[in-house]
């Protein structure tokens, strides 16, 4: 039986702490287990990505417990700011790093440490082609493997029948552009619409939270979230940055078109139909007027809505599942060895 030690932030299965990275880590673990792998999960607590002394010690202890030469895959959220722990560990372990969001994207000061970690690893797996190219360009890495998230097939959404049911999914934060959406919707008071936002709301100030008549549903269990997707006509993703955007493919899996910011890997997740059309609309990030214009077009033009629905249904047919993601990660994993240079005596 093949064995993998998977080092992840604690709480990846906690619905209240749902994130794309947590879902990815859990689906990878479950997919490998389903293929007969022994997956030893090491959940490390700490203020990631910037660990304190206690978190660094916990990470070091977790890796010290792994036998020499063993195959290890560490979530970049845990690894990338900890070269003092990861670089020595890489000398005795078949170490890979799974990068969801490079720390250096938002914090250039972190790039030196992150690059040191990734250069020491025997393999680097990025969760989107956009992330792979970013790492190659900024860190001059010879090889980075891309394993984008999969998506589960789902029934075609019923929608509202009017086009006015809007849905946002993710943490209600500035990074996800919640404030941009609230401001955009204020410009559409002359039109009929409803908007639900599913996700944590702890980063939303009371003033912003009260704007735009948005229903803040908070985190929802998978079954309840599926009900919100089924009722939606359009997914809105106004993020200021995304390495992929798993909610995009979750919507498309139900034939729901997407209106999103044209940032990072969102265009990759959105993809194209068989005849080269976008199953949604992309607008400039951080621009409420641009988002409002896109929403107004959707809400007022029935032919436009019908075209995007057809495109979303077309794109739905060729979305990759999580089995493809797991297979791509497997192809990227290094071969475990009994001993490695620099292993402990």
| Amino acid 340: pLDDT | 45
* Residue 207 CB contacts under 8 Å (≥ 6 apart), including other chains: none
pLDDT in tens, 91-123: 999 999 999 999 999 999 999 999 999 999 999
Could you state, in order of their start, the residue ranges of all structural domains in the chain? 3-150+323-332, 165-319
Across 235-256, average pLDDT: 97
Among residues 121, 148, 145, the alpha carbon closest in space to that of 23 is found at 148
Across 67-75, average pLDDT: 97
CATH architecture of 3-150+323-332: 3-Layer(aba) Sandwich (3.40)
Q: What is the pLDDT of residues 89-98, one digit of tens each?
A: 999 999 999 9
Residue 179 clears pLDDT 90, i.e. is over it: yes
Give every CB contact of residue 191 below 8 A, 6+ residues apart in sequence.
164, 296, 299, 300
Domains 3-150+323-332 and 165-319 share a fold: yes
Extract the tokens encoding 161: 């029948």
Q: Give the largest Cα separation in the chain, rounded.
A: 73
Residue 125: is its pLDDT beyond 90?
A: yes
Do 166 and 191 form a contact (C-beta atoms < 8 A)?
no
The contacts of residue 83 (CB under 8 Å, 6+ apart) are 113, 116, 117, 120
Mean pLDDT of the chain: 93
Dist CA 32 CA 333 (whole Å) = 12
Query: What's the confidence (pLDDT) of residue 341?
Result: 42
* Residues listed for the chain: 345
The answer to whether domain 165-319 has CATH 2.40.40.20 is no
Residue 242: per-residue pLDDT: 96
- Give me the pLDDT at residue 208, please: 67
In this predicted model, what pLDDT tens digit does every residue of 133-176 receive, in sequence order?
A: 999 999 999 899 999 999 999 999 999 999 999 999 999 999 99
């Amino acid at each position: 039986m093949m064995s993998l030690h998977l080092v992840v932030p604690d709480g990846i299965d906690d619905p209240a702490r749902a994130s794309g990275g947590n879902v990815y880590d859990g689906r990878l673990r479950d997919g490998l287990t389903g293929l007969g792998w022994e997956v030893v999960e090491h959940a490390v607590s700490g203020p990631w990505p910037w660990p304190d002394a206690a978190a660094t010690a916990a990470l070091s202890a977790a890796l010290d417990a792994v036998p020499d030469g063993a195959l290890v895959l560490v979530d970049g959220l845990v690894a990338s700011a900890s070269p003092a722990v990861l670089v020595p560990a890489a000398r005795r372990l078949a170490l890979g790093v799974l990068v969801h969001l490079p720390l250096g994207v938002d914090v250039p000061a972190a790039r030196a440490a992150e690059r040191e970690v990734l250069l020491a690893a025997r393999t680097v797996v990025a969760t989107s082609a956009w992330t792979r190219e970013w790492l190659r360009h900024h860190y001059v890495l010879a090889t980075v493997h891309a394993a984008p998230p999969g998506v589960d097939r789902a029934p075609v959404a019923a929608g509202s029948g009017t086009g006015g049911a809007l849905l946002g999914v993710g943490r209600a934060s500035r990074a996800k552009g919640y404030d941009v959406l609230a401001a955009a919707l204020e410009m559409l008071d002359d039109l009929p619409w409803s908007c639900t936002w599913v996700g944590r709301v702890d980063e939303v100030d009371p003033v912003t939270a009260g704007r735009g008549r948005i229903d803040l549903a908070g985190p929802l269990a998978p079954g309840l979230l599926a009900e919100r997707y089924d009722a939606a006509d359009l997914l809105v993703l106004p993020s200021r940055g995304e390495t992929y955007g798993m909610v995009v493919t979750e919507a498309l899996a139900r034939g729901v078109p997407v209106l999103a910011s044209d940032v990072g890997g969102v265009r990759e997740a959105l993809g194209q139909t068989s005849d080269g059309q976008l199953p949604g609309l992309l607008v400039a990030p951080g621009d409420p007027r641009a988002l409002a214009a896109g929403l107004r077009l959707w809400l007022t033009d029935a032919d436009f809505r019908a075209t995007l629905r057809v495109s979303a249904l077309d794109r739905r047919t060729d979305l990759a599942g999580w089995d493809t993601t797991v297979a791509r990660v497997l192809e990227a994993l290094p071969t475990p060895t009994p001993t490695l240079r620099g292993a402990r005596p």
